[in-house]
Structure 1
Amino acid sequence: MSELRRWVDSYLAELARIDSSVHTVRNYRTDLEQFVAYFSRGGLNPPEPKDFDQLILREWLADLYTQGLAKPTIRRKLAAVRSLFDHCLRQGVITLNRAKLLTTPRMPSKLPDVPTEEQTNHLIDDIAKGALERPCPSRDLAIFELLYGCGLRISELVGLSVGDFDMSEAWVRVLGKRKKERQIPVPGKAMAALRACLEARQPSEGETAIFLNHRGRRLTDRGARGILKMYAVALSPDSGLHPHSLRHAYATHLLSAGADLRAIQELLGHASLSTTQKYTHLSLTDLMNVYDKAHPRA
């Protein structure tokens, strides 16, 4: 095994130890395996981490562009490699992370697609009415109510355990990115759905997760995404609806109703206010659409 491969395995093991999301680990594993494969072409032994210079890394980055990969994909692959070399730096294998000297491809400014309040409520109401015959309808409804009612990331949702909820005060403790903990109020309909979910819950021995699969074990990130996709295709006019759509809707609808931007930042668990400010643009876009339709001089 090459030294580069060994350090990739070491870094992936570290991600598993710190309980990084399944989605992140899966993507980083694929990206780093491709990184090793690029430098192993023709049976060559790839350079050791200490032998990577900026020229070699630029060659690899140029190849990604040559493949015609989308900018978000290139950014993610570059982030994976930078994180790998950060790991090597912490272990004393290298003295400088040269991957951080590479230029990150700029992303075009694109606002996320956000379902309207009417669309969101109509979808969740249909789920509550049992529009689809499902083996765990109370679980499915609670998933949608908490994603929209609390603005959770899908990884945060499937990571919830019974002890994370204060049922009397209607609060939930959430572990977000970089293990940052925050508390979020749970609205009435989401609490009602949660109680119904808990009553129907049939966990396997020792399982504390709120959301379970058919074996009574914790529902995975992929499993929850599959449930949401199925309902989106069957019941929503937007079959492209995804978990983050409901998180975007949560923030946008709060802002439209007059909520403070910094309060929304805390609720979403954003490290930077600039990340939350994109919802200001969404709200202004909605306002301009109303103006264009309603004002006689528009």
Structure 2
Amino acid sequence: MPQPAVRPQRRTSPARSRAPHGLSWNEAVERFLASKRAENLSPATLENYEWHLAGSRAKIFLADHEVISPRQLDGEMLEALQAELLAAGVSPALVHSFHRVWKNFAGFCIRRGYGADPDVLAVKAPRQPQREPDTYSAEDERRIIKAARSPRDRLLIEVLMRTGLRLEEVAHLSVDDVIDGPEGAYLRVRQGKGAKDRVVPLDTGKVRLSKKLRDYIRHARPATDGGSSALFLSQRSRGGVYEPLTGRAVQLVMRRISMETGIRVHPHKFRHTFATRALSAGVDVMALQRVLGHTTLAMVSRYVHYQKADLLEAWKKRSD
């Protein structure tokens, strides 16, 4: 979740206090979001763009610098935004996210003739410290699953832990997405991030997640009588109708488990755990890239970089 707004001490730049003519900042943001909707981006991505450009932190910065038009957006402004966010204690990762979204917005404004100085595109993102991906231990996994209060919540945790799916991807799974193919069982993830379908294998040599899914569908999932085909449903019906579990509802399940166990339960931590374990088990990097739905190998490389077990094992074979 975005961090609460913090207003650092600063002085307004006189050069930006003059209101330029043309499209307002908010009007340009609306047109930018409309263009992204036309690209069929997910609602979560659109909400993320809007928060970065017109949310609480953006409003403070824009007000303090008296920015009312995209014509005022230049390299100096983006650098000031980054510096002030860092000074306010915002994480480098979130500042990097602001950098990416504002530069994307600037490029859009330049192409459409709404203003923005092209020098903004040359601004470098703040350097991010490289940290080992945060993962769950086997004991963490045991405690998290034990804290789940229902068969649905236990299976939900196992699917996240053993498939690496994103939050919204899990929420959008349907019964028909659990497939027993001739070469093995898999999940069909339809229109995941980037609007790309992909296949995620379910079973390993030791764990048959496909059987758990089939058993859940047959015995624990509420009967819908022709209603929703969502794999995970609400546990209480409204007028006899069970609604699909939303991403927000999944977050609430995780929050409750976090409070009961003292373990930070988060969708991306499940994803990091899945990727790290897959590499340790010998899964090919190219295959892992496809399963995770990453567009480039660079996005998988950090998991390879932090394979401590492989590194230590290689050191044991040294002859010096």
User: TM-score, normalising length from structure 2?
Assistant: 0.73
- Please list the CA deviations of residues 118-151 of structure 1 after superposition, one character each: whole Å capped at 9, or x if unmatched: 3366347x54xxx65x3xx232122122212222
Per-residue deviation at 1:242? 1.9
Which of 36, 58, 61 is equivalent to 1:35?
58
- Residue in 1 aligned with 2:256? 230
Which of 135, 152, 155 is equivalent to 1:114?
135
Per-residue deviation at 1:5? 0.7
SS in 1 for 2:188: strand
Which of 41, 52, 62 is equivalent to 2:73?
52
- Residue in 2 aligned with 1:274? 298
Rounded Cα–Cα distance in structure 2 between residues aligned with 1:92 and 1:69: 32
Per-residue deviation at 1:206? 5.1
SS in 1 for 2:306: helix
Which structure has the highest helix share of the two?
A: 1
SS in 1 for 2:198: strand
Rounded Cα–Cα distance in structure 2 between residues aligned with 1:222 and 1:177: 17
Q: After superposition, where does 1:1-298 map in structure 2 within 5 Å? A: 3-15=24-36, 18-22=40-44, 24-33=45-54, 34-41=57-64, 44=66, 46-89=67-110, 91-94=112-115, 98-116=119-137, 118-119=138-139, 122-123=142-143, 126-127=145-146, 134=149, 137-167=150-180, 169-174=184-189, 175-187=191-203, 189-199=208-218, 200-203=221-224, 207-213=228-234, 214=236, 216-235=242-261, 239-283=263-307, 285-287=308-310
- Please list the CA deviations of residues 8-65 of structure 1 after superposition, one character each: whole Å capped at 9, or x if unmatched: 233344555624253x4444333212334423349x5x34223422233333333323
| Pair 1:138–1:108, CA change in 2 (3 A) | same
SS in 1 for 2:187: strand
Rounded Cα–Cα distance in structure 2 between residues aligned with 1:25 and 1:13: 9
Rounded Cα–Cα distance in structure 2 between residues aligned with 1:205 and 1:195: 18
| Pair 1:13–1:260, CA change in 2 (3 A) | same
| Pair 1:231–1:59, CA change in 2 (3 A) | closer
In 2, are the aligned partners of 1:229 and 1:239 still within 8 Å (CA)?
no
SS in 2 for 1:271: coil
What one-letter code is carried by the residue in structure 1 that aligns with 2:69?
E
Unmatched runs of 5 consecutive residues or more in structure 2: 1-21
Taking only aligned residues, the RMSD between alpha carbons, in angstroms, comes to: 3.4
SS in 2 for 1:166: strand
Q: Percent identical across equivalent pairs?
A: 26
Rounded Cα–Cα distance in structure 1 between residues aligned with 2:120 and 2:193: 23
